[in-house]
């Protein structure tokens, strides 16, 4: 490319395309190897790694969707087109409520890779796993959208409207669990909340209002400012050992393997007596740090502290960031999961979808997926034998530890 053409930079975008930038900060796409100009005056060019398609933004803020050779897939009036699902060809598209008016809100719809708009861009939100994910397809091939007023709308993947209930979904609590959507009759604090079934479109009231739910959430966030804090010396904790409780928990976590359980108890007991600061992430440079002083808060007891030490050294536990889908998909080291595959195209992209998939894979093996509540935004879980799950939950309750089995 000759310098007189005014392009400051140029680089290959795909084997068939070169991208260049002018002195004015605009971009162009050229065909390789003859450098024929295909598109110019662009404000941004992005190659999406998930679907391997190019988004080229024009000066009017609409975006073209191009293949690797720079050819448009369809005529696009959309401001954003997210990743396409490789199986069903669907993506979330955005369009202004008043086209051309940048002050009007962006509304979402569902677009097919062919350019056919299956669900019109008339919705505040199309349900999906992450911000850039394709639309989430629920069992039965259903899509879920929310109107600007917060009303749920259910479509099939061809765009046919299946259900338009007169319900309201709070903007910050649009939750679907086991094909049930949290929704309410009415709106605001007085809305009578319940579960709307995406399977048969029935509505089951919970007996709570949205005000009841938000007050409970607020109490949980504020916590109890009068929580009692007690200090325990490490030597006293060692003396308080409940050997039967430790052995039973270890046997459950080791899936009944007596030898492995004995080894785990030995490691656990050593961590209680002489903990390694690295295992716990302690800041030994802190002048107030004293590993021999332990705190018990509220309903915590000696078993709570024993459990916390086990979490630090036990290899049976998985811990992930709350949105680490890749980490969850890689959790095949867990018992019974070596041949598990989370098919995000058919089972959904969200973390809850992944846990559903894993629990369903474990169930025929008589294994249960147990979640452990954390004090931060991480996720911690473990796999045990199904007949042992209830007993483990009971023993953890004695330690003031909240846990539950993920329903398959």
Instruction: Dump the DSSP string for 304-369.
Output: HHHHHHHHHH-TT-EEEETT-HHHHHT-TTSTT-TT----HHHH-SSHHHHHHHHHHHHGGGTEEE
Burial of 380 (0-12, 13-18, 19+ CB in 10 A): middle
Residues 262-271 have pLDDT tens digits of 999 999 999 9
Q: What is the chain's Cα-based Rg? A: 27
Neighbours of 49 (CB within 10 A): 8
Q: Is the dihedral of CA 325, 329, 335, 336 positive or negative?
A: positive
Neighbours of 44 (CB within 10 A): 12
* Distance between CA atoms of residues 99 and 117, nearest Å: 16
**Which residue in the block uniquely carries the two structure tokens 């629920």?**
138
Q: In the numeric block, which tokens belong to residue 54?
A: 């190019």
Give the pLDDT of residue 230: 83
How far apart are alpha carbons 15 and 1 in whole angstroms?
17
Instruction: For 237-249, give the DSSP string.
Output: HHHT--HHHHHHH
User: Over the stretch 53-70, which tens digit does the pLDDT of each residue have?
Assistant: 999 999 999 999 999 999
In angstroms, the CA 367 to CA 374 distance is 22
* Parts of the chain with a pLDDT under 50: 2
Q: How far apart are CA 122 and CA 401, in angstroms?
A: 45
Q: Residue 7's closest CA among 108, 105, 24, 15?
A: 24
Predicted pLDDT at 378: 86
Q: What is the pLDDT of residue 244?
A: 94
Tokens of residue 27, six digits: 């971009």
- The dihedral sign for the CA sequence 269, 272, 275, 280: positive
Which stretch of DSSP H or E encloses residue 90? strand 90-96
Selection from 35, 28, 73, 29 nearest residue 52 by Cα: 73
How far apart CA 237 and CA 173 sit, in angstroms, is 42
Enter the tokens of residue 304: 């709570």
Nearest Cα to Cα of residue 359 among 317, 405, 297, 404: 405
Q: What is the dihedral of CA 163, 164, 165, 171, to 10 degrees?
A: 120
Q: Model pTM?
A: 0.60
- Start-to-end CA span in the chain (Å): 60
Q: Name the DSSP letter for residue 105.
A: P
Whole-number pLDDT of residue 195: 95
Q: Which among 319, 334, 302 has a CA at the least distance from the CA of 379?
A: 319
> What is the C-alpha to C-alpha distance for residues 72 and 56, in angstroms, rounded to an integer?
10
Pairing state of beta strands 80-81 and 63-66?
unpaired
Q: How far is CA 238 from the centre of its chain?
A: 39
Instruction: Locate 272 and state its tokens.
Output: 């209680």
* Cβ 136 vs Cβ 124: under 8 Å: no
Please, are residues 319 and 371 in contact by the beta-carbon 8 Å criterion?
no
> Measured on CA atoms in the order 271, 272, 276, 282, is the torsion positive or negative?
positive
């Amino acid at each position: 490319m000759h310098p007189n053409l005014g392009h400051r930079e140029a680089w290959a975008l795909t084997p068939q395309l070169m991208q260049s930038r002018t002195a004015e900060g605009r971009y162009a796409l050229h065909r390789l190897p003859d450098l024929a100009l295909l598109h110019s005056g662009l404000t941004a060019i992005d190659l999406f790694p998930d679907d391997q398609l190019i988004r080229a933004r024009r000066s009017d803020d609409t975006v073209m969707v191009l293949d690797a050779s720079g050819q448009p897939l369809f005529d696009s009036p959309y401001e954003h087109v997210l990743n396409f699902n490789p199986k069903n060809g669907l993506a979330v598209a955005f369009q202004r409520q008043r086209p051309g008016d940048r002050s009007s809100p962006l509304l979402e719809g569902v677009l097919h890779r062919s350019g056919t708009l299956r669900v019109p861009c008339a919705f505040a939100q199309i349900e999906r796993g992450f911000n850039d994910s394709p639309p989430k397809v629920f069992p039965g091939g259903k899509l879920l959208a929310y109107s600007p007023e917060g009303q749920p709308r259910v479509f099939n993947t061809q765009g046919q409207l299946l259900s338009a209930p007169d319900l309201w979904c709070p903007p910050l609590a649009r939750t679907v669990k086991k094909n049930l959507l949290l929704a309410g009759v009415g709106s605001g604090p007085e809305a009578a909340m319940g579960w709307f079934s995406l399977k048969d479109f029935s509505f089951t009231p919970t007996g709570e209002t949205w005000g009841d739910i938000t007050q409970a959430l607020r109490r949980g966030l504020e916590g109890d400012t009068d929580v009692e804090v007690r200090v325990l010396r490490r030597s006293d904790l060692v003396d308080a050992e409940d050997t039967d409780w430790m052995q039973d928990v270890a046997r459950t976590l080791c899936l009944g393997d007596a030898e492995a359980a004995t080894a785990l108890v030995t490691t656990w007991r050593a961590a209680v007596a002489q903990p390694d600061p690295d295992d716990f992430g302690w800041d030994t440079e802190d002048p107030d740090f004293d590993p021999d002083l332990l705190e018990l808060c509220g309903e915590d007891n000696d078993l709570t502290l024993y459990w916390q030490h086990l979490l630090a050294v036990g290899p049976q536990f998985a811990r992930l960031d709350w949105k680490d889908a890749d980490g969850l998909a890689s959790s095949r080291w867990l018992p019974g999961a070596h041949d598990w595959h989370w098919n995000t195209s058919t089972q959904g992209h969200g973390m809850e979808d992944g846990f559903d998939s894993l629990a369903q894979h474990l169930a025929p093996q008589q294994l249960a997926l147990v979640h452990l509540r954390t004090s931060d935004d991480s996720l911690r879980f473990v796999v045990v034998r199904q007949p042992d799950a209830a007993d483990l939950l009971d023993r953890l309750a004695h330690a003031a530890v909240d846990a539950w089995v993920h329903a398959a």
